[in-house]
Structure formats: C-alpha cells, structure tokens
Amino acid sequence: MDSYLITGGAGYIGSHLVERLINKKKKVIVYDNLSTGSMLLLKKKVKFIKGDINNYKKLSQVLIKHKINTIFHFAAAINVAEAEINKKKYYKNNINGTKNLIKAINVSKLKVKNIIFASSCTVYGGAKNSITEESKIKPAGYYGYTKAISEKNIINFSNSIGCNYAILRYFNVAGASNSGNIGEINSKNGHLFKNIAIQSHKKIRKVYINGKNFKTRDGTCVRDYIHVVDLTDIHLKVLSYLNKKNKSLILNCGYGRGYSVLEIVNQASKIISNLYILFTKKRIGDVNSAFCSNKKIKKILNWKPKNNNIKLMLTSAINWEKKLFNLKQK
C-alpha cells in the first residue's frame, strides 16, 4: 500500500488534500509544526506528527518508519510582502526547508517514487499576457525567488535518484471545501478572499485594497484565482499521472482568467452588506498582472474545473469564516 507524507498538511491547501486522500482510504502522514496550520483542519483518524521541516533527522525517521513513497511538499512560509522584510525566515523555511527534505530522503535511503511540490506563479513575476509553463522564470520578489530555487533543487534531486516530480505553480488560491469542514485558518498571509470573509461577522466591515495605481484596467492588480477544491483535484490527477505514466510534470494551476482586486471586492459587496472599500499603499513585491494559460494542464490531465465561479469562491470562504468564528466563540 502506498504511503503519503504531506508536509504542511495542517495548512489551508494541504488539509484539503488530506481530507480527500483519507476519504479514499489512503495511508496519510501529516508532518507540520502548526506555526500557521491547525488541528481543526484535520480529521481525528489522520496520523499527525508535529515536526519542523528543518529537522531532517526527525523527517528521515518519519520516512523510514512509515515507508513513505510519495511526498506532497506544502510546508513553507507564504506571505509575499513579509518575505521582502524577513528574508532570513523565508530562506530558512522555504529554501533550506526543501533542502532538508531532500537530505532526509537521502538519509532514509528509501526509494521515493514521487515528489509533488507546491510552487507558485510568483516564480514568473508579472506579465501583460497569459503565462505559460515555458514563460521566463523571473521572480519579482523574494518569495518567488525561494520557490524558484526550491523548484530547481527538487528537479535536480529527483533526476539524480530516478524519482518522478511534479512542480505545481499555483496562481491565487481561494474558497473553502464543499463539505464546509475546512478552509483557511491563518489571517496573516494577506489573502484577499480570507480578508473579505473575515469582514462578514463584523459590525463595521472594511476591506483594504493595496494600491490603486497599478497599470491595469481599474488601477488595482489583476490575478488568476482558483478554487481550492479544484486545486485539490489537480493534485489527485497529478498523482495518478505520475504513477501511470512515470513522467515528471511542470504545470500552471489556474483558470486562465484575470480578475482585478476591485472586481472581486465589488462582487463581495453584493454578498456582504455595508462593505466599505479603503485603499492603502501598494505592497512590496506585488506585480501589475499575473494570469495563466492552462492549456497544458487541461490537455495532459484532462482537467475540467468544476468551481470556476467567483461568487462560489466568495460564498464558500464566507461560510467557512462564519463556522470558524462560531467555533472560536465556544
């Protein structure tokens, strides 16, 4: 039986994958230091190990004990703006953390079949037109740089040991599970949909938009948003592809359409009453526009998104936030 290690599995995206794998009766080991994740997002039946990605000795012991043959690597610091002012933290968690995972695999001497890495569209920087997997790697900020370096390290290592890899370059992830059981916990990452959803249970509802002088149609930055449920489907399809085809992959994960931040907030104002829009200064590292071409992922995986709807993403995020707020009140 295959055994899956999910680093950062108690986080936003990782926990959605854990839920799906558990529902499929798979053997799942979650490895997370809970710095931004939460046990609230995990089912009781999940095998959870509290540990840091930089502790390669503990990681190697986990790999050996549970005979891991597939690794989903989510563990990372992910705040784009914070990365510019705390590069030491992002080097340690993202670049060095990935190096330590590689070191742990080497120490374990296990035959790992697949490594699936949660990368980011930030490796490209910005672009006026849709971004393909062949677009130039040119990070606009330090967070994107840490992901680009980690990609290279995983690719080189995987090739050296004959392991399959998948580099998944996420565009902007939003929404919450259809079950209503899991969603985004951490409010410090600057994610737009999370920030909007938080306002739903407040008396005075304010949404801050970072910058209004981007070179875009309405002055706010343009992003490609993907529902977390569709992103989870991609991971499952990628896993199946790697096992069947025994070929590695680099894929963009997005819907292929860019929405401005103001367009998203205006849509949210139709769901949340009395939502005030306030503009603040542009964040360091933010680019004008970033949206993908998803032709490759649709062709190779026969991926058909089921939740490509901004209202649905907003509603699921808001419903999750209400549930989370009620849990905190108990």
Check 4, 31, 56, 143 and give the catalytic one: 143
CATH architecture of 192-223+256-329: Alpha-Beta Complex (3.90)
The pLDDT value given to residue 86: 97
For residue 185, give the nearest of 18, 327, 26 by alpha carbon: 327
What six digits make up the tokens of 140? 């606009």
Average pLDDT of the segment spanning 254-265: 97
Average pLDDT of the segment spanning 20-31: 95
Average pLDDT of the segment spanning 271-298: 94
Rounded alpha-carbon distances, angstroms, from residue 134 to 138, 213, 257, 266, 295: 12, 29, 18, 34, 12
The pLDDT value given to residue 269: 96
Residue 98 has pLDDT above 80, yes or no: yes
Q: What percent of the chain has pLDDT over 70?
A: 99
pLDDT digits (tens, 9 = 90+) for 50-68: 999 999 999 999 999 999 9
Place 43 in a pLDDT band, splitting at 50, 70 and 90: confident
Angstrom distance (rounded) from CA 193 to CA 271: 13
pLDDT digits (tens, 9 = 90+) for 229-251: 999 999 999 999 999 999 999 99
Average pLDDT of the segment spanning 166-178: 96
Q: Where in the chain is the domain with CATH 3.40.50.720?
A: 3-174+225-253
Angstrom distance (rounded) from CA 158 to CA 248: 9
Q: What is the pTM of this model?
A: 0.96
Residue 284 has pLDDT above 90, yes or no: no
Give helix 310-329 / helix 261-268 axis angle, nearest 10°.
Answer: 60
Residue 326 has pLDDT above 80, yes or no: no
The pLDDT value given to residue 107: 94
One-letter amino acid of 112 = V
The pLDDT value given to residue 328: 67
User: Looking at the domain that runs over 3-174+225-253, which CATH code has it been given?
Assistant: 3.40.50.720
Q: Where in the chain is the domain with CATH 3.90.25.10?
A: 192-223+256-329
Cβ atoms of 258 and 289 closer than 8 Å: yes
Residue 1 has pLDDT above 90, yes or no: no
Residue 8 has pLDDT above 80, yes or no: yes
What six digits make up the tokens of 107? 């120490």
Residue 128 has pLDDT above 90, yes or no: no
What six digits make up the tokens of 317? 């995020």
The pLDDT value given to residue 258: 96
Average pLDDT of the segment spanning 64-79: 97
Angstrom distance (rounded) from CA 41 to CA 34: 11
Residue 330 has pLDDT above 70, yes or no: no
Residue 320 has pLDDT above 70, yes or no: yes
3-state DSSP of 126-185: CCCCCECCCCCCCCCCHHHHHHHHHHHHHHHHHHHHCCEEEEEEECEEECCCCCCCCCCC
Q: In what order do the strands lie in the sheet with 259-260?
A: 259-260, 222-223, 289-290
Cβ atoms of 223 and 113 closer than 8 Å: no
**DSSP-derived secondary structure for 73-128:** E--S---HHHHHH-HHHHIIIIIIHHHHHHHHHHHHT----EEEEEEEGGGT---S
Cβ atoms of 6 and 14 closer than 8 Å: yes
pLDDT digits (tens, 9 = 90+) for 204-234: 999 999 999 999 999 999 999 999 999 999 9
143 among known catalytic residues: yes
